[in-house]
Structure 1
Amino acid sequence: MTSPSCNKNKQSQNEWRLFPRELAPQIAIYSIARLRLTRDVLAMNYFESFKLDEIYPLKDYKVSEAEILEFANKYDPQSYHTDPIAAAESPFGSLIASGWHTAAIFMRMQCDSFLNQSHCLGSPGIDRLRWIAPVRPGDSLHGENKIIQLRQSKSKPDRGIVQSGVSIYNQSNELVMTLETTAFFLRRPQ
């Protein structure tokens, strides 16, 4: 026979349990996922991860006629971007992507290649943007991002400034766009 004080002790242990026992497997899975996320975040690129003259290849991107038309109709409605028939009569001879669309595609390529795996804090802008050759429907773009300058921020010691020279090519390795970017990255915690 159990004494009343023993039953009271068991009840008190149950009251102090942080979660119902049946939730233990879900909580364990959640805890493991949080640990993996923490590990992945720690592995992301900080300012110190970049080296001068290092080249980051950019993931390929296939450009479709539908997206050229959609972007141009919304943001750059010039006939050689929006009307295949009128574009055929233009100096370009066929439909071409807006240069701004090409710049937006570059941003997607850069995010997919390394920015989304880094502690990037944004950018104050780009310099020396040049559209060298037109981008056409069906083109497969690839490129590289070369680190051309690294410096620590004087006003914000928790971050560094990374400048890159970018070259974008089509499937024939014809240069279609160049630009220079500047971006802020967190410094590695001490």
Structure 2
Amino acid sequence: MSTTDASTSVSYLDDLAPGQRFVGSMRLQVDAQRIKSFAAEFDPQPFHLDDDAARGTLFRGLAASGWHTAALTMRLLVGKDFPLAGGIVGAGFDELRWPLPVRPGDTLRVECEVLEVRPSKSRPEQGLLKLRTTTFNQHDQAVQISVGTLVVPRRGKGS
């Protein structure tokens, strides 16, 4: 996961350091039908399902569920830009915020910053990576900010 060679190598915990930043190249465009179909299955509230009903809410129009935004963010992370050894394995979140709604027509991208790298004392083959991930729309406005902890294998420690 380096900014210069993210697409060709896999990163282990030992390759990462606090302060490193990574900018994803993948983009996802969100359309109204996907917002509604996700909501119908997982978050069936009027402001996610119906354009007219949504206009009368605090969103003032159709908005994607925050959980849909989280799922889209995961899709943006899983790919060539963030190739962590062992995959993106979450251990939990310290923070998950949706400062702005995602709208039909928005195009999303992600940026990550390493906050902490901590080798495990009880499992020397792995460690924990604390990562701030910000999902932006096409106007470079943050639509989701999360701080999560990932389990990442260590290089040469049983990998």
| TM-score normalised over the length of structure 2 | 0.86
What aligned pairs does 1:124-163 form with structure 2 within 5 A after superposition? 124-163=91-130
Task: Give the greater-gyration-radius structure (CA).
Answer: 1
Residues 139 and 121 of structure 1: CA distance in aligned 2, closer, same or farther (over 3 Å)? closer
Secondary structure of 1:44's partner? coil
* 1:78–1:140 Cα change, 3 Å: same
Q: Is 1:167 aligned with 2:139? A: no
- Structure with the bigger percentage of helix: 1
Structure 2 residue runs without a partner (length 5+):
1-7
The whole-number CA distance in structure 1 between the counterparts of 2:9 and 2:108 is 28
1:32-78 CA-to-partner distances (Å, cap 9, x unmatched) read xxxxxxxxxx9422111212211111222211111101110000000
Distance 2:80 2:99 in 1: 23
Greater strand content: 2
Look up the match of 2:23.
57
Alignment map for 1:65-144 (pairs within 5 Å)? 65-116=32-83, 118-120=85-87, 122-144=89-111
State whether residues 77 and 110 of structure 2, in contact with CA within 8 Å, keep that contact through their aligned partners in structure 1. no
TM-superposed CA distance for 1:173, in Å, is: 1.2
| Equivalent residue pairs, number | 149
CA deviation vs aligned residue, 1:96-137 (integer Å, no higher than 9, x gap): 000011011111111124445532362211121111001000
**Structure 1 length-normalised TM:** 0.73
Among the aligned pairs, what percent are the same residue?
A: 33
Higher relative contact order (CA 8 A, sep 6+): 2
RMSD between aligned residues = 1.8
1:44 to 5, 10, 23: 10
Q: Does 2:134 match 1:180? A: no
Answer whether contact 1:44 1:119 (CA < 8 A) is retained: no
